[in-house]
Structure 1
Amino acid sequence: MAKIIQSKQDLTYLNWSHIRSSGGTAGNFLKATSSIEGRKKYYKLSNFDPVKGVVGHECVNEIIADRLLTILGIEHLEYELINADIEIEGNVFNTWLCSSEDFKKPGESKVALDDYYRTNSFPGESHYDFCVRQGWQKYIDEMILVDYLLLNRDRHGANIEILRNSRARTLRIAPLFDHGLSLMYSCRDDDEAHAFDIMKDLPCNNFIGSHSCYENLALIKNSQKLIKKKLKTSDKDVLFSGLENILSEIFIDKIWEMITERMKVYESL
């Protein structure tokens, strides 16, 4: 289960820079890296305001997504949620941020799927068909399902990465990552969360398929065989363990309702 570090950490030594974001994605998202004993670590902030500090909860969404994918048995990047002091432009802020370790193996380099597609696709080949030809159909189908369940608004071509080792002549697709701009990330308080339409098909920046996460479910072949695990009521405790003092009860209940109701739609197809 994704780990939460509740005791406050001093991460004021990190240097923050902007994340490559896609068009239509509002917000100011920062990242940082560190290397300790040869292990590279990546850090991400939720939506940041220079005056107010961190105003979003995208990093919490990463933890919820991490735990959901673990329950469903889908390969993914693992995250930690950390309570930390950070320093940006001389100002210290206390916030929750998420961290992950480098998923590249020694000798591997990464390339965004959209770039890899441009140089390796056949004329007129769809993004989905290209991935099927590469042997990545199960991965892409699982990604489409996850993005529907979470209403991930930002699965652009750089949020899917290809890892290659030229010397060893290996090629693989990176584990699923980057689910921050999902669920109810746009809601800033309980009133907005309460009013949020959990089944609404908001436009999403998808590299695969259309801008509709619901319509993209039609791409999945043999959808009933994709995942055998069914969510149980007890899984709610697993998803939100340790988040009770970070998210309000309204957010927790609404997110759980969103995931379970959207799962019912998928299972009915």
Structure 2
Amino acid sequence: MDIINLDAVEQEPTQGHTSKGDQPKWQLDGKWYKADHMGYEALAEVLVSQLLKQSNVSNFVEYEPVLIQYRGKEVPGCVSKSFRAKDEMLVPFERLHRAYKGQGLAAALGGMEDPQERIRYTVDFIEQTTGLTDVGAYLTLLLELDAFFLNEDRHTNNLAVIRNEKTKEFRLCPIFDNGLALLSDLNDYPLEKDIYDCISRVRAKPFDLDFDVQVEAAEELYGMQLEFSFNRYDISALVELFEDLYPEDILERTKRAVYEQLRKYQIYLTKKLI
């Protein structure tokens, strides 16, 4: 496992986009480093990206584990290559909506009662302002993944498109930022708490507080998108790669969380559940 010393690298400023705060982040030589902040975000981030390799998802950011040294501390973290090319800029849905409509997307969605109306409005707005197509399928896939991995942090600032500042052309952003998945926030989901109770308390974003309500609304509009081909053995093998970074109780809880979601969402599996 790589060890990186970031003492000489300035930490990226926090954005304050999430109610749970931002992970410490650094950018160095075309790579992004993120350190654990509230529990085991790096474990969740890496595990999700590795499992996406065994799915029909092609446009995602791959993360790898790393031990970060910073100001006399060693903290588990993850690293990924930058997914923006030269002259490209990340444009969150929230900011894009404010630029065109004079208010943030979250505020606009708050005035709508029906999750399906919120989803359709978001898709139509993004397609009309960017010229992109298949935004509905893209957004549905994200919501399916968030439900599967219990990602509670899909707010309108980490839904984004990428714009080339020279050509003014847009492209869909790869799937990233799954650190607050799989009960990784140990402040809200302590290890000593019952895992089923913890799972039941996770709330979704941004179209409804219930993951399944969001997914069902999106799939009614744009169809089911997600397919997985991994099983319990694959999950166990991946989690064991983190034995040098995390204690056994965290590794065991992470496996159990994915096992439970695998059992619940077998509809997305193309491989026999073992």
1:232 and 1:155 mapped to 2: Cα distance?
Answer: 25
| Partner residue in 2 for 1:105 | 85
Q: Report SS of the residue matched to 1:159.
A: coil
1:103 CA drift (Å): 0.9
Q: Give the root-mean-square deviation of aligned CA atoms.
A: 3.0
Q: Report SS of the residue matched to 1:95.
A: strand
Match of 2:34 among 39, 44, 48: 44
1:159 CA drift (Å): 1.0
Match of 2:24 among 11, 25, 30: 30
Q: Does the 8 A contact of 1:18 with 1:28 survive in 2?
A: no
1:80 CA drift (Å): 2.3
| Partner residue in 2 for 1:50 | none
CA offsets 1:146-178 (integer angstroms, 9 cap, x no match): 111221121111112211125434211211111
| Partner residue in 1 for 2:271 | none
Matched pairs, number: 245
Moved over 6 A (4+): 121-125
CA offsets 1:206-239 (integer angstroms, 9 cap, x no match): 23x1122232121232698523334323312443
Q: Does the 8 A contact of 1:117 with 1:127 survive in 2?
A: no
| Partner residue in 1 for 2:195 | 196
For CA contacts below 8 A with separation 6 or more, give which structure has more relative contact order: 2
Q: Does the 8 A contact of 2:240 with 2:251 survive in 1?
A: no
The alignment's TM-score, normalised by the length of structure 1, stands at 0.77
Trace 1:131-170 onto structure 2 (pairs within 5 A).
Answer: 131-133=122-124, 134=127, 135=133, 136-170=135-169
Percent of pairs with identical residues: 18
Q: Does the 8 A contact of 2:2 with 2:65 survive in 1?
A: no
Give the residue type in structure 2 aligned to 1:8.
Answer: I
Q: Report SS of the residue matched to 2:265.
A: helix
2:238 and 2:193 mapped to 1: Cα distance?
Answer: 19
* Structure 2 unaligned blocks of 5 or more: 128-132, 269-274
CA offsets 1:29-85 (integer angstroms, 9 cap, x no match): 322222x3xxx22221211xxxxxxx6321221111111222223221112221132
CA offsets 1:169-204 (integer angstroms, 9 cap, x no match): 42112111111112122337x972562325414224
**Shift in alpha-carbon separation, 1:131–1:10, aligned structure 2, 3 A:** same
CA offsets 1:3-36 (integer angstroms, 9 cap, x no match): xxx25333321222442233531x56322222x3
1:24 and 1:214 mapped to 2: Cα distance?
Answer: 22
Q: Report SS of the residue matched to 2:85.
A: coil
Trace 1:69-218 onto structure 2 (pairs within 5 A).
Answer: 69-74=52-57, 75-87=59-71, 92-120=72-100, 126-133=117-124, 134=127, 135=133, 136-187=135-186, 192-193=191-192, 195-197=194-196, 199-204=199-204, 206-207=205-206, 209-218=207-216
* Structure 1 unaligned blocks of 5 or more: 1-5, 48-54
